[in-house]
């Protein structure tokens, strides 16, 4: 009988973390538990009062959100959709960690359109310059990360999607089990982290974190969304390597690189390509840019490439196998009718974590 753990963390207004963990066994019998600040060892014997806070057949709890009346809610994933729970008469952190949780019902049920187990759900109001305050996002994971936008009835606890079109954060199904959080330090924004399930070693589940993305409203009515790299990624650009011409790309070590471009297509063009991680011979990766694309952003980080088209309306993660350490070249490829109005690129430095900045 296998045992699994999944969890989310909510940093409350007084900056005390609420850690809620799903401890599940096969067959599924999940116990939603809470941990004291920054402690996860409760599942190994640390005694926390009132654990579990509730028991369910679901898994993968989200962060907390508050209703207009101040109630705390969260959702988890089930075989029939996304399930919602509420902490009844909870106004303080101590209340939330008690056993006053009641099941509201199904936030969103899967249908014949999505007949699969909904893992790692996420629900949140859509933000951004073009946001409509009434629009919410409902996301689930199964063979990739899929999202809907629609209206959330707080009274009934139910979400009604605008449609059932299958939209994904990333066209690669190995972008998985993503989580968002609300960054409200200045202008509120929704930040997305994805799990990149790398298809390499035969050792079971493994992977890396994606580049953090901002989730923003898109479309004239704000009913859709885009994902794009957070602006802080630009602080990793090495300005002394900045190039603005096609010829300048020859000077770059493209093993870690940020590329920005605007292609120009003739009427009969079928597409362009950006060649990365090339050794000038038989090892390279061509990133195809479809005809009609307005703008391109490519982030290269050794064997992982992230592609963003048209301001993040399409995002694709690629995994690259590199045999030759000299494979770090960058070039623009394409046939008749393919050109570039703008090209910019930078080498990037590794990220260095500064714990003092978040303490």
Residues of the chain with CATH 2.60.120.560: 237-347
Stretches in the chain below the pLDDT threshold 50: 1-2, 25-30, 35-48
Q: What pLDDT, on a 0 to 100 scale, did the predictor assign at position 91?
A: 76
Domain 237-347: give its CATH code. Answer: 2.60.120.560
Residue with tokens 């960058």: 330
Full-prediction pTM beyond 0.75? yes
Residue with tokens 């969890």: 7
Q: What pLDDT, on a 0 to 100 scale, did the predictor assign at position 43?
A: 32
Taking Cα atoms as reference points, which of 314, 313, 309 lies closest to residue 295?
309
Rounded Cα distance between 343 and 245, Å, is 6
């Amino acid at each position: 009988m296998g045992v699994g753990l999944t969890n989310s963390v909510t940093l409350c207004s007084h900056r005390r973390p609420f850690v809620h963990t799903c401890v599940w066994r096969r067959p599924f019998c999940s116990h939603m538990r809470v941990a004291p600040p920054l402690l996860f060892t409760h599942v190994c014997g640390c005694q926390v009062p009132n654990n579990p806070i509730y028991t369910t057949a679901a898994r993968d709890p989200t962060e907390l959100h508050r209703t207009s009346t101040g109630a705390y809610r969260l959702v988890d994933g089930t075989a029939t959709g996304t399930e919602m729970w509420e902490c009844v008469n909870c106004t303080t952190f101590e209340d939330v960690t008690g056993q006053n949780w009641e099941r509201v019902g199904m936030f969103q049920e899967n249908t014949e359109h999505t007949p699969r187990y909904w893992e790692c759900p996420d629900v949140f109001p859509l933000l951004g310059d073009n946001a409509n305050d009434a629009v919410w996002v409902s996301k689930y994971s199964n063979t990739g990360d899929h999202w809907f936008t629609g209206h959330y009835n707080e009274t009934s606890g139910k979400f009604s999607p605008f449609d059932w079109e299958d939209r994904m954060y990333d066209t690669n199904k190995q972008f998985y089990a993503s989580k968002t959080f609300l960054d409200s330090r200045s202008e509120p924004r929704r930040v997305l982290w994805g799990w990149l399930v790398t298809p390499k070693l035969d050792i079971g589940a493994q992977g890396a974190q994606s580049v953090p993305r901002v989730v923003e409203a898109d479309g004239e009515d704000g009913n859709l969304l885009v994902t794009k790299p957070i602006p802080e990624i630009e602080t990793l650009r090495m300005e002394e390597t900045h190039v603005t011409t096609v010829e300048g790309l020859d000077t770059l070590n493209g093993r870690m690189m940020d590329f920005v471009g605007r292609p120009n297509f003739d009427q009969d063009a079928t597409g362009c390509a950006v060649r990365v991680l090339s050794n000038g011979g038989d090892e390279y990766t061509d990133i195809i840019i479809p005809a009609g694309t307005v703008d391109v952003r490519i982030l290269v980080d050794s064997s992982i490439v992230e592609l963003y088209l048209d301001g993040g309306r399409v995002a694709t993660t690629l995994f690259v196998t590199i045999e030759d350490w000299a494979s770090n070249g960058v070039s623009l490829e394409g046939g008749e009718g393919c050109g570039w109005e703008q090209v910019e690129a930078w080498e990037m430095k590794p990220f260095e974590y500064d714990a003092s900045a978040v303490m």
